[in-house]
Structure 1
Amino acid sequence: MENNKIKISVRNLVEFVLKSGDLDSRFTGTSRAMEGTKAHQKIQKEYKNKFSKEKQIPLEEFEANKKIEYMAEVILKYDIEYKNFHFIIEGRADGIIVEGLDITIDEIKSLTKPLELVDEEYNYLHWAQAKCYGYIYAIQNNLEDINVQITYYNINSEETKSLRKNFNVKELEIFFFSLLDGYYFWASFMKDWKIKRNFSIKKMSFPFKCYRKGQRELAVAVYGTIKEGRKIFAQASTGIGKTMSTLFPSIKAMGEGFVSKIFYLTAKTITRNVAEDAIIKMASGGLSLKVVILTAKDKICFKEKTSCNPEDCEFAKGHFDRVNNAISEILNKENIINREVVVKYSKQFSICPFEFSLDLALWADCIICDYNYVFDPRVYLRRFFDNEEEYTFLIDEAHNLVDRAREMFSAELDKQPFLEVKKIMKSKEPKIAKALDKINSCMIKFRKLCEEQEHNVYIQKSQMEEVYPLLRRLISESEEWLTKNNKLEGYEQLLEIYFNSLAFIRISELYDDRFITYVEKQGSNVRIKIFCLDPSYLLNESMKRGKSVVLFSATLSPIGYFKEILGGSDSDYIIRLPSPFSLEKRKLLIADRVSTKYKDRESSLTSIIEYIAAMISAKKGNYIVFLPSYSYMTKIYEKFCEEYPLINTMIQESNMIEENREKYLFNFKEDNKETLVAFAVLGGMFSEGIDLKGDRLIGAIIVGVGLPQLCLERDIIKDYFKEKNNFGYEYAYMYPGMNKVLQAAGRVIRTEDDRGSILLIDERFGNSAYKMIFPKEWYSNITVRSVKDIQNNLAEFWRK
């Protein structure tokens, strides 16, 4: 990519240069995004109908050069060399009206404010955006003047008001270039920065003395994938160094112009920290890279209760007057912009830290953030995806994206809140109370459907169409009241219902045969849910926002399953890399004479206790026992403590806060002279993402095959995939369960110097169906039939 090439949307250009005043996220009618689309379509359809009728008039009634035409959603792109820069300005005009030689650019805006209160001074940014479109169209079509029109559409009354001005192209030119002049400082900064960045990238060497086994192979595959603009699924075992093996080649590809921005996407904070550490490591070797780590709004907000408006927050008041100075300061002084750095500069300039971090992300070379910033249809970063860019998505721990995607693409509503708020609103706003009552009545009908079914659950493949008009009515009726009454009783409850209803409708617009709707009776309450069974299509569509995608994990096994469920295709690459560690340093034992199925758990307690004792007797040190549920874990823990009271133990608590989590991990000390046995839930916070190197952990006992708890949704998934590909049980239960086992086992050997043992306890580990999905390095396992077998094998292992 040329260093003097600046690609920016009209909207981003206008907002960045001209936006001023307060940050104000108070409720203004959030359905406008959804209703706005309908407003656009409605107005565009009216224009098309009008002009198609006018075309029926005999041509002789018009001047010879008379032309009537309406064009909707017109993409405009303007390439211009200006002040040593190659600007590419892009945007989409809502409508272009051609009436003979009279040309009008029409920008459509939806609102809830009464139209009589809207005049030419209502919103300067609206005019600025439309004037840019007008200039681009005029200059490209050799026009001397052009009309610019703002059409305001009131989504409550469905009335419109059009404001039109005529501009000489010279006027528009002066305005347009004033924007470019306002952006020039930033363009110059980025030009100089990219030269410095790319020079540092070209000089950058791999930050370690040598590659680990498999690491170079993965890095080469990632670079090739990015260069070709493709997608790759990489199963790379623990120890290869996946973070560095994906970031390093991505940054190298950026230096060659194949990438404009890197999104490093994770499911957990701890993996974001690992990515940041990798960048710091490369920076210590001379790399210059602007990196922003995004932190969730509720975690970075300075206020006890998040309230983004100038009345409640001093950081919101005048935010836009100060934010560009803050951006300039931080970009000149900082490269790695994490939470602490954002907080420091936000306090210095008295601005909102969350909005500040989002603005900084526009200038970053690499953004480290949660999956939802790219995939969640409710909150993904639209500001980045208006235009096609050469983005690379690095999706870490990609196995986690399956359930996260189902969650992001699903929505649900409960009956109880509608009933409770109806009672509050009855005396305050009868129209809203009536709308709530109709939804409550609809839910009662759904409850009756449940009562006619076994287990009080009603399921259908199609949508519950009757609920959507009622939700839209509630949304419409609520907006004005919510705008004016944020201090009254019932506001917070109605606001929550409003957003839940809005989310439900938005998700409904994605609905196809990969979804199902179910209604579940829970006592007197009823829950209706749009449930995404198969997120593959929507994930694939989301990934198209980038040019290249790298999905990687130590546990993408079986990789065919993950490739299908995560939106892969036959043309996507696959790479499997075995463990780089010597198998002689790890002993894998399988005890397949114990059943841990739910019905056998009580009778299995004694055998499991004996097996744990046998394992830890071979060598003093730190061990974790992973169990499939809290209740089962508690029983094993209590019985073990009763049998072996002198051994140090600890147990994972439910809903552990961060402080207690850190205390739990702190107990895994190096050179521990006494044995510690920790108990944790398989698939929980300690079975993935923790890094206990050296002898901080020398053994793991994994009880059970990790099957998700039998539940309605898992059974629905099972039925769906049974019909689709005859792998229903595998996709719903077996593969997700085995992934938990693989993750837990991966806690033991973290570096090439580590030694440790793993004991799998469950008769199903001896089944061929499970052995077929063992990773290659697990084939060197030993089946143990007794306590003595365990002791003998481990005694020999630890003697070496």
Structure 2
Amino acid sequence: MERAIREARDHGDPYIAEGIPLTVFLSVIRNIIAEMASEYIKEDDGYVPSFELVHRILNHFGGTSRDVEDMVSNVSIIGEIIREKKLKEHKLPRSYVANVGAFLSFWVNMGEENIRLIKNRDNPTLYAYCLDIEPITSILSHVHASVHISGTLSPLEEYRDTLSLPQSTVLLSYPSPFPAENRAIYYVDDVTTRYRDISKDDKILEKIAQYISGIWEEFGRNTMVFYPSFSVMGKILEHMGDYVTLGDKSGIYREYKSDTQHEIMEKVVGFKGRRGAIFHAVAGGRIAEGLDFPGEELEIVIVAGMPYPKPTAQQKALEQYYDRKFGKGWEYAVHAPTIRKVLQCVGRLIRSESDRGVAIILDRRAKIMRKYVDIRLSRNILSDIGAFFGER
């Protein structure tokens, strides 16, 4: 928004309506966004009522909703004029004014399949979030046939419904082609990362930290730990002593939200090249999907808490939408993505017929995974892991 204001000023600050210069209009929008952030953001985000932005613009400038639409349209027109001028000057035809105009036009006119959100209290930003992906996936209804294959499509019914595939779609699940004895999955039932529980008893996170450090120190095999979020990762690592500050040179790697793709890949290469290393990452993040760790590059995966989505305004809106559409809000918006994240994490272990590894889920809620994988409750996790590797 600040760049758009500067750009408008650099191009003569044209009027978008009688007595309203472009810079004034954009400054008012910027201030309205700041006001809405203060009012609507609870934690991570906030839901903005459909006509809230329009009403606040009208309160400031007067007129009708059609006047607001015309002003927004004029912002886009001015932006296009700026682009054309830059193109004639052999410059990159980029316009911040045009971008703001296009977004405001979409925001004002978007339908019920989208919701309006505001995020980032310190640097407030408007978001439009699409609840219904059918406009994108509808192309599948025009093909003769389509085949969808992945190791992590389950739950299949949710996949079919949210992609608006026909109810007659054939749903098939096949066992892994890799030897079953090459992988073991355990869970423990004396810890959880459920917010209600850890907010009452910080000892739970301390115990999870003890599980992680105990497993890594006991077996000295490349270990990857996946946390539900960066926030939970930070809280658990606080209980793991000074070793987490030793860094990559000590075989201890950690994913940060601020990491660039280059930084992430440098850490991955370093981890893969060592033995007895540990990598702390986030479920559903860049490490958890699409990377292979064959052989001894990864032998133990720890899922430090079931990665249920945080109950943000966006998440609640999606759950309500699926409830209205399918009658399965929690199952489709919460349960299904959690299952997939866990399957993605565990899937890092076995990428060929010769790979062997063990996964441990540190959360009593992991028993819901029994429908999707062979998972066993462990009463002595160190003993069970040792038995798998033939060390006990």
TM-score, reference length from structure 1: 0.41
Contact 1:457 1:521 in 2 (8 A): no
2:377 pairs with 1:783: yes
Query: Alignment partner of 1:588: what SS?
Result: strand
Aligned to 1:163: none
Aligned to 1:795: 386
Contact 1:626 1:681 in 2 (8 A): yes
Aligned to 1:657: 260
Contact 2:189 2:377 in 1 (8 A): yes
Give the counterpart of 1:666 among 265, 269, 278.
269
**Distance (Å, rounded) in 1 between the aligned partners of 2:231 and 2:39:** 33
Deviation of the 1:701 alpha carbon: 0.5
Contact 2:4 2:96 in 1 (8 A): no
Distance 1:726 1:692, change over 3 A: same
Deviation of the 1:748 alpha carbon: 0.7
Aligned to 1:531: 129
Mapping for residues 730-741 of structure 1, pairs under 5 Å: 730-741=331-342
Query: Alignment partner of 1:589: what SS?
Result: strand
Mapping for residues 200-349 of structure 1, pairs under 5 Å: none
Distance 1:482 1:609, change over 3 A: closer
Distance 1:469 1:541, change over 3 A: farther
Contact 1:704 1:760 in 2 (8 A): yes
Give the counterpart of 2:74 among 469, 473, 477.
473
Distance 1:618 1:446, change over 3 A: closer
Listed one character per residue, the Cα deviations across residues 677-731 of structure 1 (whole Å, up to 9, x for unaligned) are 2211221111111111112111100011112233221121122223333322333
Distance 1:468 1:708, change over 3 A: farther
Amino acid at match of 1:533: L
Give the counterpart of 1:434 among 3, 21, 24.
21
Contact 1:699 1:756 in 2 (8 A): yes
Contact 1:418 1:440 in 2 (8 A): no
Listed one character per residue, the Cα deviations across residues 404-431 of structure 1 (whole Å, up to 9, x for unaligned) are xxxxxxxxxxx65555555555x45445
Contact 1:462 1:517 in 2 (8 A): no
**Distance (Å, rounded) in 1 between the aligned partners of 2:382 and 2:207:** 14
Query: Alignment partner of 1:549: what SS?
Result: coil
Contact 1:627 1:682 in 2 (8 A): yes
Aligned to 1:459: 49
2:172 pairs with 1:571: no
Aligned to 2:191: 594
Listed one character per residue, the Cα deviations across residues 593-615 of structure 1 (whole Å, up to 9, x for unaligned) are 10212451742233123222443
Structure 1 gap segments, 5+ residues each:
1-414
Mapping for residues 168-207 of structure 1, pairs under 5 Å: none
**Distance (Å, rounded) in 1 between the aligned partners of 2:119 and 2:389:** 54
Contact 1:703 1:760 in 2 (8 A): yes
**Distance (Å, rounded) in 2 between the aligned partners of 1:665 and 1:623:** 12
Listed one character per residue, the Cα deviations across residues 757-776 of structure 1 (whole Å, up to 9, x for unaligned) are 0000112213xxx246x41x
Distance 1:606 1:480, change over 3 A: closer
Distance 1:660 1:416, change over 3 A: closer
Query: Alignment partner of 2:21: what SS?
Result: helix
Mapping for residues 18-37 of structure 1, pairs under 5 Å: none
Aligned to 1:628: 228
Which structure shows the higher strand fraction?
Answer: 1
**Distance (Å, rounded) in 1 between the aligned partners of 2:38 and 2:232:** 33
Deviation of the 1:438 alpha carbon: 4.0
Contact 1:422 1:437 in 2 (8 A): no
Distance 1:718 1:658, change over 3 A: closer
**Distance (Å, rounded) in 2 between the aligned partners of 1:625 and 1:521:** 28
Percentage of pairs with the same residue:
22
Give the counterpart of 2:324 among 723, 736, 758.
723
Contact 2:226 2:282 in 1 (8 A): yes
Query: Alignment partner of 2:325: what SS?
Result: helix
Structure 2 gap segments, 5+ residues each:
55-64
**Distance (Å, rounded) in 2 between the aligned partners of 1:513 and 1:428:** 35
Query: Alignment partner of 2:129: what SS?
Result: strand
**Distance (Å, rounded) in 1 between the aligned partners of 2:52 and 2:32:** 17
Amino acid at match of 1:783: L
Aligned to 1:707: 308
**Distance (Å, rounded) in 2 between the aligned partners of 1:606 and 1:505:** 50
Greater Rg by CA: 1
Aligned to 2:178: 581
Distance 1:705 1:420, change over 3 A: farther
Cα RMSD over matched residues? 3.8
Aligned to 1:608: 208
Distance 1:707 1:486, change over 3 A: same
Query: Alignment partner of 2:132: what SS?
Result: coil
**Distance (Å, rounded) in 2 between the aligned partners of 1:463 and 1:534:** 23
Query: Alignment partner of 1:460: what SS?
Result: coil
Mapping for residues 305-454 of structure 1, pairs under 5 Å: 419=5, 421-425=7-11, 427-430=12-15, 434-435=21-22, 437-438=24-25, 441=28
Contact 1:593 1:763 in 2 (8 A): yes
Higher relative contact order (CA 8 A, sep 6+): 2
Contact 2:47 2:116 in 1 (8 A): no
Listed one character per residue, the Cα deviations across residues 661-687 of structure 1 (whole Å, up to 9, x for unaligned) are 3332223457x6x52222112211111
Deviation of the 1:514 alpha carbon: 2.2
**Distance (Å, rounded) in 2 between the aligned partners of 1:480 and 1:441:** 22
**Distance (Å, rounded) in 1 between the aligned partners of 2:205 and 2:214:** 14
Give the counterpart of 2:293 among 684, 687, 692.
692
Contact 1:647 1:677 in 2 (8 A): no
TM-score, reference length from structure 2: 0.78
Amino acid at match of 1:516: I
Contact 1:590 1:759 in 2 (8 A): yes
Deviation of the 1:655 alpha carbon: 3.2
Aligned to 1:746: 347
Aligned length: 368
**Distance (Å, rounded) in 1 between the aligned partners of 2:37 and 2:278:** 46
Please say which of residues 602-611 and 453-462 is displaced more in the overlay: 453-462
Contact 1:436 1:474 in 2 (8 A): no
Deviation of the 1:747 alpha carbon: 0.4
Query: Alignment partner of 2:333: what SS?
Result: helix
Query: Alignment partner of 1:743: what SS?
Result: helix
2:80 pairs with 1:483: no
Distance 1:429 1:473, change over 3 A: closer
**Distance (Å, rounded) in 1 between the aligned partners of 2:312 and 2:219:** 40
Deviation of the 1:495 alpha carbon: 0.5
Amino acid at match of 2:75: L
Query: Alignment partner of 1:531: what SS?
Result: strand
Deviation of the 1:622 alpha carbon: 0.8
Listed one character per residue, the Cα deviations across residues 358-416 of structure 1 (whole Å, up to 9, x for unaligned) are xxxxxxxxxxxxxxxxxxxxxxxxxxxxxxxxxxxxxxxxxxxxxxxxxxxxxxxxx65
Listed one character per residue, the Cα deviations across residues 741-797 of structure 1 (whole Å, up to 9, x for unaligned) are 11011001111111110000112213xxx246x41xx23x22124xxx112212222
**Distance (Å, rounded) in 2 between the aligned partners of 1:553 and 1:736:** 14
Contact 1:626 1:702 in 2 (8 A): yes
Distance 1:630 1:493, change over 3 A: farther
Query: Alignment partner of 1:678: what SS?
Result: strand
Contact 1:517 1:529 in 2 (8 A): yes
Distance 1:795 1:475, change over 3 A: closer
Distance 1:664 1:438, change over 3 A: closer
Contact 1:693 1:749 in 2 (8 A): yes
